[in-house]
Structure 1
Amino acid sequence: MRTGIFILICLGFTLLAGCDKEPEVGEVVSTFENYQETGDLPALKERGFVRLLAPRFDEPSGLPRDGIPASEYQQQAEEFVEHLGLEPRWVYADNFGELSALINQGMADIIITNYSVTKERQKSLAFSTPVNAVQERLVVPRALADLPLTEIGEVTLSVPEGSAYQETATKLAKRHDNISLEVLESNVSDEELVNGVANGELAASIVDSNMLDALLEEDGEAVAGPVANRKRRIAWAVRPDSSELLDQINQYITSERVITSVDSEEERDWAEIREKGVLRVITSNNPASYFMWRGELMGFDYDLIKDFAKQHRLRVRVVVHDTPSSMFAALEAGEGDVIAASMTVTAERERAGWSFSERYLEVNEQLIGEAGDTPLETVEELAGRTVAVNPETAYYDTLKALQEAGGSFEILEVENASTEMLIDGVASGDYDLTMADSHLAAMESTYRDDIAVLFQFEPAKEIAWVTREPQQALREQLNRYIKRGYRGLFYNVTYNRYFKEKKTIATHEAYRVEAGRDISPYDELVRGESLKYGLDWRLITSQMYQESRFNPNARSFAGAQGLLQVMPRTGRQFGYSNLTNPKNGVEAGLAYIDWLEQRFPARLDLAEKLYFTLAAYNAGHGHVEDARRLAQRLGKDPDKWFGHVEEAMLLLSKPQYARQARYGYVRGSEPVKYVREIKNRYLGYVAALGEQEQSQL
């Protein structure tokens, strides 16, 4: 019997995942039935659509830390189609190698992705005015760092077939006797190239510089080597005979300043920003400002500044720094135009010469203790207590002022600690007390119930965007936006999303499971769909309960919908819409689970692969791979979840680990809890229904 249950666990734990983006709950988005069309713009106008082509899950290979997110390309393309008075429709290819063929077969109309212009591609495609220009750089082992091409010794460059990298590598091999070429399959990604060099499977490769910014790890074994191509153009592509469409694209790119390259260091005010069409935003990778969750870029500060930019038809380029001091230094050096990172207005910062916008948030500093701790009536009751804070924050200034006024409490300085990390330390008993701004304390309370606000400081403090003093025109535009939108509909919806809405689906009922009783109202649906992928339907049902409590109309704070909480963008990429329809939601979720499971190495134990798939369903595949890499660095087994990768996942909420991870910060406790609870519930289902189910297997 134990052996049978173990097999069921292994079978069940090999299929899970699903999530991604927009329409309102219950909104029907017509499933797009593709067709073959090779005509130019008049033919497209007759049909009413322009089909935009990208690789399936064309998401960043890491958290964008310096550059314009890839989603901006896609948004700009949709706006172009709407500018023509037509409807955009997305078509997805399995890999880059299929893009050209699909366009010329008439299955799509414009390629929209990080697509390089090459001589080979120009034989079968027509390219637009460039929207970006990047360098191609060698990726080499750390031992070869800083060496020029002529001194790196005999080296083989491994590059995907049909890629721009192959064209560059071929030229290098002809010019340098020490360089040879290995052609890989066309679907090998930039991330796989970097990983191959890092683990020694590849001697060297070539990757675009804008991709390397996200892919290279601070202490990783793969590093950026010599420049292989100083200027590689990125552009949109159409069929060679689509001259009218191409002409409209080029006019739009020029008039709307779609070009995304901008000098990395330049002190600019509003006129220069408008001319370039790009707003460079300095921010921090944390749960209040900017982070990635299930492939989506999120954050209260990011959403607000992005809305400001959208209203002025600007694109947002993010510049990520970890500490207030490094953000101020970056602004002073001209790396960015504005700091949007929940920055508190203080007299000290104003005396240092920084100019703040109007406040877009008013917060009170609060003392945070364990749930059940006695609230403080006055600040004098702090006597004998210890407050843990990061000395770089405004909280530290508040506490030092209180001490100088006679307060008899201790300040514990915790370098590089985030507010979340300190609150977690209080909840676990590592620290006595900490401080947090009221909106951050409120956000933590949407995830947990083991902390309490013990005291609130008055008066309220202001949170604002930061500019250099000479940027008067930019400040005027920021202030105008804040005055117009503060506490308006968009602001309130965004604020509630991050700081008020619970981040977990509320429990409806216990759903006790007994032999002979259905687990959920959707058992038959889940049975049939799970069979298509060889999955144990009880595992999927356990995951469904975790996601939605069997409520098909459930929606998460991030926008996921339906029984399996699939993001609408993910649903569309698998051909599903109206995800609150139980059948659509389940089918889309299972398709995504299968896709995610295949992204993990085939060598993994079946049960372990399922644990990783579950974690990826919850937090995103990239964060799980970050945790696996971190586990290996810590001497743990990257191929085992419990006791190994799950422990590394917990560390990725800490700044010192998040800043080295490709995908940055993640609230690691969420996927850890998610996997454990689904597994335990699944085992309960197996125990209750095992004998009955075994007769069906």
Structure 2
Amino acid sequence: MRSKASVWLMFCLAMMVGCDSNSGSSAPEVGEVVSTFENYQETGDLSDLRQRGFIRLLAPRFDEPSGLPRDGIPSIDYQSQAEAFVRSLDLEPRWVYADDFGELDELLNAGSADIIVTNYSVTAARRKTLSFSTPVNSVQEKLVLPAALAGTPVSDMEKLVISVPEGTAYQETAEKLSRRHENVSVEILHEDLSDEELVQAVVGGELEATIIDSNMLNVLLDSGDADSPVVAGPVVNRKRRIAWAVRKNSTELLDKINQYITSERVITSVDAPELRDWATIKESGVLRVITSNNPASYFMWRGELMGFDYDLIRHFAKQHHLRVSVRVEDSPTAMFDALQRGEGDVIAASMTRTEEREKQGWMFSKRYLEINEQLIGRADEAAFTSLDDLAGRSVAVGPDSAFLETLKDLKRGGLEFDIIPVDGVTTEQLIDAVANGIYDLTMADSHLAAMESTYRDDIAVLYQYEPAQEIAWGLRPEQDKLKQQLDNYISRQYRGLFYNVTFNRYFKEKKTIANHVEYRVTPGKAISPFDGLVKDESLKYGLDWRLITSQMYQESRFNPKARSFAGAQGLLQVMPRTGRQFGYSNLTNPQNGVEAGLAYMDWLEQRFPARLDLAEKLYFTLAAYNAGHGHVEDARRLAQRIGKDPDKWFGNVEEAMLLLSRPQYARQARYGYVRGSEPVKYVREIKNRYLGYVEALGESS
């Protein structure tokens, strides 16, 4: 078998002459990299842990959701709550990561960690070797069945084989069902199978039925697809408990955990709809936020949940010791309906305060953002001296946008210009079309235009309409106590330090590093100041060092101190949480930053199917490094739906990736909205620069 290094060398040639290459040996173990925390074996109780000074928290590596959290508390809260618990004991939390979910109990009992903190079910089998805390969550389990069996009770099914992974809570539930129903049998599968893989196996007809957590089915099944071959069947376990786990002898530690969970109300189960005001919210410990999946409010980037509205409402909640539960809706009407039904406590979604909405009975907090409607043109145009400059021009806007009424008012006032309605596009796409000369002008709200300007320098604000409009949090009319708390927060924070830092992060800071003349590469001259480091580390993973150098230029322009708006750091712009999961901190240190980035690249590469052509696998890996693995998988699924090849990037998956910034596609994607132009540009530019390096330095460099 060829070595992975030789495969990547052949890939260089394949890129030049068009041949294909596959195969490769396994990568080095993650444990081979230098860790910032030297682990040890300890099987004692809390008194022994106090002598160590640490409590080690155990989770699967990249314990991320199987989609954008759309209904409930994001799973990352498990980790933050566990860290807070450890610090409440005046100890330091340290994370230990398992490559396999099934080995969590073994690592804990072997003394490699002290508390399991993840979506870990309480089962009879696990109780034999572990002790569980007070539940931190409870979820329902549902059958996943072929659509032909929709609505059929289990007892009426002729014969049903339920396939579940070994050692899981699903196995326990399935075996209970088989004991109750003679027509039900159980097939035990490998323990490593994910929920997504189980659902896809039923979709593909490889399995007849399986069991999945009901909250996961919201993202794993497309409920809007009437032609879906599978459906969510009946609830088969109404209350499966999720808890933290410790060793059997950790009685003192368990007692402290239970005290903390009870006192801090670390309970994440989603309650039934309830019309709540401040007192009830405080008692529950959870603020239920209704929002929208878009670049201003709430989205996922590189596995991190972000958004101006999301960050601001979380900051408010944190000051009142509340956790945030998120509910995503697609339109203002749907958000207000959910609020009225008691499915949330507050709308935080860049909601405009209007006279019409107040007449309908809705209440709003003080404004936390002021916006203006703006006319957007190309950067080489002079600003309008007055609206008379609009005469003879054309403006492209969405037919359902508020801008349309503004423009119609101008025409009714006698101004001669053309309105071009464009269906199914976002502000981002209209601005891009104007920049590229497809449309003459467009309109945008000032905060969204400002956000676009952080990604590009080819647009300009030509005119701003007055007066400004107010953005505020939406409430039911009887929520006067919650309104008072929100208003107090805004009065304290508006234009303060936290507010300004957060506002600048989304609406002012450039999201791309300024271009400059790229390194002129000639034989015998270094590509970067870090060639030696990159060569050594790339070799460990069988990667061409020139490829990684091209990626490094794209990420940081060879600046080890670079930081992105999302918080990524170092030469390869690794997110701090990602670095910790591979054992690294201090990512601005060139050695740490490069090692962490390469470990992450290798991990991503292994998540794509082995059948992929080597070059295609590389493109997918680069796209995932930029935007996140989940968004790339969304694009692959979408590519297949629209008749493109899900196993090819250029001209296929990259086109689907661009569609994921459109609401009609993003709302059906598991990971939701993504600024698809970024990974598309990222992959193309790294590839082209890499080919330039190969040509300049020679194929054997």
TM-score normalised per structure 1: 0.94
Instruction: Provide Cα deviations, 1:249-304, integer angstroms capped at 9, x if missing partner.
Output: 11111111111124242111101111111111111100000000000000000000
How far residue 46 of structure 1 moved from its aligned partner, in angstroms, is: 1.6
Question: Residue 45 of structure 1: which of 50, 74, 77 is its match?
Answer: 50
1:480 aligned residue: 488
Contact kept in structure 2, 1:11 and 1:536, CA below 8 Å = no
Could you tell me how far 1:234 is from its partner in structure 2?
0.8
Q: Pick the aligned partner of 1:216 from 209, 221, 225.
A: 221
Q: Does 1:130 align with 2:135?
A: yes
Alignment counterpart, residue 247 of structure 1, candidates 233, 252, 255:
255
Supply the distance in 2 between the matched residues of 1:214 and 1:208 (Cα, whole angstroms). 11
Pairs within 5 Å for 1:505-516 = 505-516=513-524
Q: Does 1:631 align with 2:639?
A: yes
Change (3 A) 1:129 1:364: same
The residue type paired with residue 629 of structure 1 is R
Matched residue, 1:524: 532
Please, which of 162, 171, 183 is the counterpart of residue 166 of structure 1?
171
1:679 and 2:648 aligned: no
- Counterpart selection for 2:472 from 464, 481, 487: 464
Determine which structure has greater relative contact order: mean sequence separation of CA pairs < 8 Å that are 6+ residues apart, divided by chain length.
1
Deviation string for 1:336-356 (max 9, x for gaps)?
A: 111111111111112121111
Change (3 A) 1:438 1:296: same
Q: Distance in 2 between matches of 1:3 and 1:385?
A: 54
- 2:92 matches 1:87: yes
2: CA distance, partners of 1:211 / 1:251: 29
Secondary structure of the structure 2 residue equivalent to 1:241: coil
1:598-617 correspondence to structure 2 within 5 Å: 598-617=606-625
Distance 1:523 1:386, change over 3 A: same
Superposition deviation, residue 6 in structure 1: 2.9
Match of 2:210 in 1: 205
SS at 1:157 equivalent: strand
Q: Which amino acid counterpart does residue 517 of structure 1 have in structure 2?
A: K
Contact kept in structure 2, 1:12 and 1:535, CA below 8 Å: no
Q: What is residue 434 of structure 2 aligned with on the other side?
A: 426
Identical columns (%): 73
Q: Name the aligned partner's letter for residue 511 of structure 1.
A: Y
Tell me whether 1:440 sits opposite 2:448 in the alignment: yes
Q: Give the partner amino acid of 1:201.
A: E
Question: Could you tell me which residue of structure 1 aligns to residue 68 of structure 2?
Answer: 63
**Cα separation, 1, equivalents of 2:401 and 2:273:** 26
Matches within 5 A, 1:134-213: 134-213=139-218
Partner of 1:21: none
Amino acid at match of 2:173: T
Distance, in Å, in 2 between the alignment partners of 1:14 and 1:363 is: 54
Q: Deviating runs (4+, > 6 A) in structure 1? A: 8-15
Contact residue 12 and residue 699 of structure 2 kept, 8 A: no
Counterpart of 2:13?
Answer: 6
- 1:221 offset after TM fit, Å? 4.0
Q: Is the 8 A contact 2:288 2:346 kept in 1?
A: yes
Residue number in structure 2 paired with 1:388: 396
Given candidates 523, 543, 554, the residue that maps to 2:562 is: 554
**Deviation, structure 1 residue 578:** 0.9
Aligned to 1:331: 339
* Structure 2 unmatched ranges of 5 or more: 1-8, 28-33
Q: State which of 108, 118, 121 in structure 1 corresponds to 2:126.
A: 121
Letter of the aligned partner of 1:6 in structure 2?
A: L
Distance 2:419 2:151 in 1: 44
Offset at 1:12? 12
CA distance in 2 between counterparts of 1:435 and 1:615 reads 31
Give the corresponding residue for 2:30: none
Question: Mean alpha-carbon deviation: is it higher for 430-439 or for 553-562?
Answer: 430-439
User: 1:564 is matched with which residue?
Assistant: 572
Q: Paired residue for 2:83, among 70, 78, 81?
A: 78
- Structure 2 counterpart SS, 1:671: helix
Deviation at 1:118, TM superposition (A): 0.6
What letter matches 2:514 in structure 1? A
Q: Distance in 2 between matches of 1:11 and 1:529?
A: 23
The one-letter amino acid of 2:221's match is L
Deviation at 1:629, TM superposition (A): 0.3
Cα distance in 2 between the residues matched to 1:93 and 1:78: 18
Aligned counterparts of 1:205 and 1:381: Cα–Cα separation in 2: 64
| Separation in 2, partners of 1:577, 1:143 | 52
Q: Distance in 2 between matches of 1:379 and 1:35?
A: 71
Q: Contact 1:116–1:235 (CA<8 Å) still a contact in 2?
A: yes
- Supply the distance in 2 between the matched residues of 1:4 and 1:216 (Cα, whole angstroms): 37
| Equivalent residue in structure 2 for 1:291, among 295, 299, 306 | 299
RMSD: 2.2
Q: Tell me the secondary structure at the aligned position of residue 642 of structure 1.
A: helix
Contact (CA 8 Å) 1:95, 1:186: kept in 2 or not?
Answer: no
The equivalent residue for 1:497 is 505
Name the CA distance, whole Å, in 1 between partners of 2:699 and 2:368: 60
1:355 aligned partner, one-letter code: M
Q: Distance in 2 between matches of 1:690 and 1:141?
A: 55
1:395 positional shift: 3.0
d(CA) in 2 for partners of 1:54, 1:418: 38
Find the counterpart in structure 1 of residue 651 from structure 2.
643
Q: How many angstroms does 1:104 deviate by?
A: 1.0
Name the amino acid aligned to 1:83: S
Q: Tell me, in whole angstroms, the C-alpha distance in 1 between the residues paired with 2:520 and 2:158.
A: 66
Q: Which moved more, 1:202-211 or 1:660-669?
A: 202-211
Q: Check 1:470–1:331 CA distance in 2 against 1; reply closer, same or farther (3 A cut).
A: same
1:512 match: secondary structure: coil
Map of 1:307 onto structure 2: 315
- Cα deviation, 1:342-391, whole Å, max 9, x if unaligned, reads 11111111212111111111121101123334533222433444433345
> Is this contact kept in 1: 2:579–2:587, CA < 8 A?
yes
Of 258, 264, 272 in structure 2, the residue corresponding to residue 256 of structure 1 is 264
For residues 441-475 of structure 1, what are the alpha-carbon distances to aligned partners after superposition, in whole Å with 9 as ceiling and x for unaligned?
01101112232212101122211111111100000
Distance 2:169 2:593 in 1: 38
TM-score (norm 2): 0.93
1:574 corresponds to which residue? 582
Structure 1: stretches of 5+ with no match in the other structure: 18-28
SS in 2 for 1:126: strand
Q: CA contact under 8 A between 2:73 and 2:326: conserved in structure 1?
A: yes
Partner secondary structure for residue 331 of structure 1 = helix
The 3 A distance-change label for structure 1 pair 400 and 327 is farther
Distance 1:400 1:146 in 2: 50
Residue aligned with 2:175, SS: helix
Distance 1:595 1:574, change over 3 A: same
**For each residue in 1:530-553, what CA deviation from the matched residue of structure 2 results, as whole angstroms up to 9, or x when unmatched?**
111111111111111111111111
Structure 1 pair 203/146, CA: closer, same or farther in 2 (3 Å)? same
Which of 343, 355, 362 is the aligned partner of 2:363? 355
1:137 maps to amino acid: K
**CA shift at 1:600, angstroms?**
0.3
Q: Write the distance in 2 (CA, Å) between the matches of 1:609 and 1:517.
A: 30
Judged with a 3 Å threshold, the aligned counterparts in structure 2 of structure 1 residues 422 and 13 are, in CA distance, closer, same or farther, namely farther
Distance in 2 of aligned mates of 1:14 and 1:349: 61
